[in-house]
Amino acid sequence: MFEFTEDQLAIQEMVREFSEKEIRPIAQDTDKNGSFPEKTIKELAEMGIMGLNIPEEYGGSGLDEISKAIVISEISKCCVSTAEIVAVHLLTNDIILRMGTEEQKQKWLPNAVEGKLGAFCLTEPNAGSDAGGLKTKAEKTEGGYILNGSKLFISNFGPEEGDHLIIIALTDPEKKTHGGMTAFLIGRDTPGVQVGKTEDKMGLRGAVVSEVILDNVYVPEAEVLGKPGDGFKIAMIGLDGGRIGIAAQATGLAEAALSEGVKYANQRLQFGKPISSNQGLQWYIADMGTRIEAAKMLMLEAADKRQKGEKVTKYAAMAKYFCSETAGYVCDLSLQLHGGYGYMKDYPIERMYRDARIMRIYEGTSEIQKIVISREVIKEYT
Ligand SMILES: Cc1cc2nc3c(=O)[nH]c(=O)nc-3n(C[C@H](O)[C@H](O)[C@H](O)COP(=O)(O)OP(=O)(O)OC[C@H]3O[C@@H](n4cnc5c(N)ncnc54)[C@H](O)[C@@H]3O)c2cc1C
């Protein structure tokens, strides 16, 4: 099993303490009211969490990939909506760090440390699993590009939420994912950027997800991320890290759901004894515990490899796939342990069950992860 360093353990303790004290008590209300946890994000920024993967020279905390996973996981144990906001923000920090020019880093990273949120805009109405279907166009003009189109289901972007956006757009429609896309890093106040529909979601109700409308948005060349034509590659590099982030969300949630299930099963009496004394239910608990440990190992291995600079596409996809499926499985069985009470909003497992559902969908569905994994595994074993 992974041995955390002293620094990683200290971060874990700090975030666990904060999450238990400040996030857990408001998680049910955040969900019920669909309220964006603005104050919590501000406090997390003050603690250095929103800039945790940004080097100290830009004001960040300069922490590693495992610390990032630990932080997301700890927050997720208390509130997945908050963990999602943090995870997407850290994904955008990561892309800016890896692909941005010095000027772009100086311009955006100190703001990101302060908690000014980043959004990652790939999905469109006709391009979900298939990024090759993108329609948003970036047409070359003097000194820059004109962007037109719309992006759907964009996290960290809302009527008042979101500061900067990474947008993947078509610069050469013939080439599509093979060099035909370019990534842009722009501010939300750029003329022509509008907020479209803000979604009313099943879960993650404290997080904000909206449509981004791009109406003749002029973007100077200096706001291209990486090189023109690198857009798809940049999105995939970002998603390697993002998928480990979802795996961390999922393992945190699964641990919390198991804890709720065991607590309930120990105190609920039926037939004159705690329901946890039934072997049938103990087997559920054994399966939940085993899958969680396996999920954590996959997730940490992917994070460790990314920290070491190794290619992690396969490991990130495996971790995202297995951990998100595990979160769904554990939340479902934990709800089963709760019986009818688990179906009611009085118990947090009802929220956890809904929050788990998205994990098998965003940043690439389970089916898409299996396409990525099988491609890599077949290459490896052929
Ligand atoms: C709450 C939320 C937040 C999100 N945040 C963001 C964000 O910040 N940025 C962003 O860019 N996007 C975001 N998304 C979009 C998300 O990544 C997509 O919804 C997801 O990739 C799936 O795309 P889709 O919804 O168009 O489904 P589709 O691609 O239409 O898929 C529908 C079904 O078909 C399956 N399928 C499709 N193709 C295949 C295939 N070849 N083989 C087998 N099965 C297949 C899928 O697995 C799925 O089960 C978010 C979505 C949600 C719901």
Flag whether 376 is in a domain: yes
Flag whether 1 is in a domain: no
Mean pLDDT over residues 350-365, rounded?
A: 98
Span from the CA of 376 to the centroid of ligand 1 (angstroms): 21
Helix (H, G, I), strand (E, B) or coil at 140: strand
The one-letter amino acid at 13:
E
* CATH code for the domain of 77: 1.10.540.10
Place 271 in a pLDDT band, splitting at 50, 70 and 90. very high
Residue 240 and residue 377 in one domain: yes
pLDDT digits (tens, 9 = 90+) for 70-113: 999 999 999 999 999 999 999 999 999 999 999 999 999 999 99
pLDDT value of residue 1:
61
Span from the CA of 326 to the centroid of ligand 1 (angstroms): 19
Residue 143 and residue 217 in one domain: yes
Q: Is the CB of 358 under 6 A from ligand 1?
A: yes
To the question of pTM greater than 0.95 for the whole model, the response is yes
pLDDT value of residue 2:
76
* CATH code for the domain of 157: 2.40.110.10
Residue 131 and residue 213 in one domain: yes
Q: Is the CB of 153 under 6 A from ligand 1?
A: yes
Respond yes or no: is residue 102 known to be catalytic: no
Share of the chain above pLDDT 90, in %: 99
Which residue(s) pair with 213 in the sheet? 150, 194
Flag whether 201 is in a domain: yes
Residue 158, pLDDT > 70, answer yes
| Sequence-separated (6 or more) residues with CB below 8 Å from residue 261 | 284, 285, 288, 330, 333, 334, 337, 338, 349
Share of the chain above pLDDT 70, in %: 100
Beta-strand relationship, 118-121 and 164-170: parallel
- Token pair, residue 276, equals 């946890």
How crowded is residue 278: how many other Cβ atoms within 10 Å of its Cβ? Answer: 14
| Residue environment code for 165-203, b if the CB has 16+ CB neighbours within 10 A, otherwise e | bbbbbbbeeeebbebbbbbbbbebebeebebeebbebeb
Which of the listed residues 117, 132, 164 is the one where a domain comes to its end? 117
64 phi-psi bin (left φ>0, alpha ψ -120 to 50, beta other): beta
Span from the CA of 135 to the centroid of ligand 1 (angstroms): 16
Residue 373 and residue 295 in one domain: yes
Residue 137, pLDDT > 80, answer yes
Residue 249 and residue 370 in one domain: yes
Secondary structure E strands in 2-143: 118-121, 137-141
Residue 10 and residue 102 in one domain: yes
| Sequence-separated (6 or more) residues with CB below 8 Å from residue 126 | 133, 135
144 is in which domain, residue-wise?
119-231
Residue nearest to atom 27 of ligand 1 (CA): 128
pLDDT digits (tens, 9 = 90+) for 168-205: 999 999 999 999 999 999 999 999 999 999 999 999 99
- Token pair, residue 73, equals 């996981």
Q: Is the CB of 124 under 6 A from ligand 1?
A: no
Number of domains within the chain:
3
Flag whether 249 is in a domain: yes
Q: Cβ(150)–Cβ(158) under 8 Å?
A: no
Beta-strand relationship, 164-170 and 181-187: antiparallel
pLDDT digits (tens, 9 = 90+) for 235-260: 999 999 999 999 999 999 999 999 99
Q: Is the CB of 131 under 6 A from ligand 1?
A: no
* CATH code for the domain of 335: 1.20.140.10
| Residue environment code for 14-47, b if the CB has 16+ CB neighbours within 10 A, otherwise e | ebbebbeebbeebbbebbeebebbeebbebbbee
